[in-house]
Amino acid sequence: MCLIGFFAYTGWHCLRIAYDKRWRKTEIGHLAAMVFTFLVGYAVGAQFVTLDRLEAPFFITLIGTGLLRVTDQMRHAVPMQDPSDPAISATPALSKAA
* Interatomic CA distance for residues 29 and 7, integer angstroms: 18
Q: What is the pLDDT of residue 81?
A: 60
Of the two residues 51 and 79, the one the predictor is more confident about is 51
pLDDT tens digits for range 36-59: 999 998 888 877 877 776 778 888
High-pLDDT (> 70) share of the chain, %: 77
Q: What is the pLDDT of residue 31?
A: 92
Helix ranges (H only) for the chain are 2-19, 27-45, 56-76
Does pLDDT of 96 surpass 80?
no
* Interatomic CA distance for residues 96 and 29, integer angstroms: 49
Q: What is the pLDDT of residue 92?
A: 52
Q: Taking the complete model, does pTM exceed 0.75, yes or no?
A: no
